[in-house]
Amino acid sequence: MDEKTMKQMAKMVDALQPHCDEEIVAAMTCSHAGSMSSFLISKLMGGVGAGTKSSNLPNPVFIAVGSKSIYAFNYAPRGFKFKIKKEVARWPKDEVSVVAEKTSAMTTFVLTTSSGESYPLEVPTMMGGKELVDVFLEALGASQG
């Protein structure tokens, strides 16, 4: 991991670490899958379909990966920092499977719990974000779909 990627990941991990009861190894701000493209399309179409929700997680959501658990947090961006509002979900890491699919501009991944809940999420990878997303997906234990 290059120095820039390390700094970006450290910034996100540092924002969430005080809210977790184990060491966080990776973290990423994510959106519901399709929400970024549907938001752009809805703007072009005059607002039709804006704000659609694909799961009970907030959109956007901050995902943190520890050695034992995967956490989801409601947050608000504050310039180059993050205001963490509250934990909204926690899953045992060994009970979650992750499948990722990458395109040139976006990585989509689905967190599926052992109870059958699925959370399709996406992260942009354009403008130098690919390595950061790769580090996050590796921490999640994602397989390529």
Q: pLDDT digits over 1-51, tens only?
A: 789 889 999 999 999 999 999 999 999 999 998 865 544 433 333 443 333
Q: What is the mean pLDDT of residues 54-82?
A: 90
Residue 111, token pair as written in the block: 């967190």
Q: Before 60, cis peptide (omega within 30)? A: yes
Residue 45: per-residue pLDDT: 38
- What is the separation of C-alpha 52 from the centre of its chain, rounded to a whole number of angstroms? 18
Cβ-based neighbours of 118, under 8 Å, separated by 6 or more: 55, 110, 111, 112
State the DSSP code for 27: E
Q: What per-residue confidence (pLDDT) applies to 49?
A: 39
Model confidence at 53, pLDDT cuts 50, 70, 90, reads very low
Domain extents in the chain = 3-140
Alpha helix stretches (DSSP H) within the chain: 3-16, 35-44, 130-140
Higher per-residue pLDDT: 78 or 3: 3
User: Taking the domain 3-140, which CATH number applies?
Assistant: 2.30.29.30
